[in-house]
Amino acid sequence: MSLLLISDTHVPARARDLPDRVWDQVGAADVVVHAGDWVTPDLLDALEARCSRLIGVWGNNDGLELRRRLPEVARVELGGLAWGVVHETGPRTRREERMRAAHPDLDVLVFGHSHIPWDTEHDGLRLLNPGSPTDRRRQPSCTYMTCRVGGGVIHDLELHALPPRR
């Protein structure tokens, strides 16, 4: 099963749309995971129309309509692993320990908010932040992640850096 992990898209506040490379991945992925900060429901509608399966949560920049349509925390089984999706995880200090305590039943937790890519493991919990495909903030580039999952294992996890927008 192939996954696309994105977060903090901020469409249309930071970009008019997702980059073409990300849309290409949307069409190729079995599952698209979005860890919040959509900004308007338009992107949610577009992703729902174009992807096979969407798992998403709302973020701190998302209004009432997105909060009505999306959970704050999503939980799902993918490829034999228990996945969770949240937007915020708090400060980076002791993040792994806090998230393991908060989500004792998960194998993987995808999160956003910081726009900073993250991939760590603690006590059996893998934490993944794909960064942002539209707003790099203080990062060298905008980013997203892809991976395959099956048999209780994540394969070929890759952080993709996007070229600068023109």
Q: Does 166 fall in a domain?
A: no
Mean of per-residue pLDDT scores for the chain: 96
> Which pLDDT does position 139 carry in this prediction?
92
CATH of the domain at 138: 3.60.21.10
pLDDT higher than 70, residue 166: no
> Which pLDDT does position 72 carry in this prediction?
98
Give, in order, the Cα–Cα distances in Å from 41 to each of 10, 114, 117, 132, 154.
11, 21, 24, 18, 30
State pLDDT tens for residues 119-164.
999 999 999 999 999 999 889 999 999 999 999 999 999 999 999 8
Q: Does 27 fall in a domain?
A: yes
**Closest by Cα among 138, 127, 163 to 35:** 127
Report the pLDDT averaged over residues 93-113: 97
User: How many domains, in total, are found in the chain?
Assistant: 1
- Domain span including residue 58: 2-161
Q: Does 99 fall in a domain?
A: yes
Q: How far apart, in whole angstroms, are the C-alpha atoms of residue 20 and residue 57?
A: 23
Residue carrying structure tokens 């980013």: 143
Report the pLDDT averaged over residues 20-35: 97
Q: How far apart, in whole angstroms, are the C-alpha atoms of residue 104 and residue 101?
A: 6
Q: Does 78 fall in a domain?
A: yes
pTM confidence score: 0.96
Banded pLDDT at 107 (limits 50, 70, 90): very high
